[in-house]
């Protein structure tokens, strides 16, 4: 299949495909007349890249998954290098969650302090949402 069809089937753009090719994530096979040519394996690689990016993986973090598929494994995450990327990503996410919890606690404390300092005490809340 040609680049336009691959882009459509993968839910991306031809520009993105050229970029993936320039980054070495998508093989660059050409026909005799110079057209890029792709197959179902390339579509599988793209779906793996897109799925990982949709949940927050950077493009370079998808490389071990792509290489795993290219090596003939049944899934992109069935190789040790892919598992290590998962571990790093989980650690990164845990750190972000910890930082968000700390910020939330700080904002909640500031809100309580600010409400307590209001003339006449905290603002009454309406049970009807208003």
CA atoms within 13 A on the CB side of 69: 20
| Domain count for the chain | 1
pLDDT tens digits, 80-128:
999 999 999 999 999 999 999 999 999 999 999 999 988 876 666 666 6
- Print the domain residue range for 109: 3-116
Q: pTM of the full predicted structure? A: 0.78
- Asked if residue 130 belongs to a domain, the reply is no
pLDDT tens digits, 11-57:
999 999 999 999 999 998 899 998 999 999 999 999 999 999 999 99
- Asked if residue 111 belongs to a domain, the reply is yes
- Asked if residue 122 belongs to a domain, the reply is no
Phi-psi region of 13 (alpha: psi -120 to 50; beta: other; left: phi over 0): beta
Assign residue 23 the CATH number of its domain. Answer: 1.10.1660.10
Output the pLDDT for position 60. 96
Q: What is the mean pLDDT of the chain?
A: 92
* Residue found under tokens 């040790």: 80
- Asked if residue 96 belongs to a domain, the reply is yes
């Amino acid at each position: 299949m040609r680049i336009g069809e691959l882009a459509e089937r993968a839910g991306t753009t031809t520009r993105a495909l050229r970029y993936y090719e320039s980054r070495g994530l998508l093989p660059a096979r050409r026909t005799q007349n110079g057209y890029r040519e792709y197959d179902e394996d390339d579509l599988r690689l793209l779906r793996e890249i897109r799925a990982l990016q949709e949940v927050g993986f950077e493009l370079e973090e998808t490389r071990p998954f792509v290489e795993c598929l290219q090596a003939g494994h049944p899934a992109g995450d069935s190789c040790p290098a892919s598992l290590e990327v998962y571990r790093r990503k989980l650690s990164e996410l845990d750190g972000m969650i910890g930082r968000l919890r700390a910020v939330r606690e700080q904002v909640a404390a500031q809100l309580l302090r600010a409400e307590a300092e209001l003339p006449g005490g905290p603002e009454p809340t309406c049970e009807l949402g208003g």
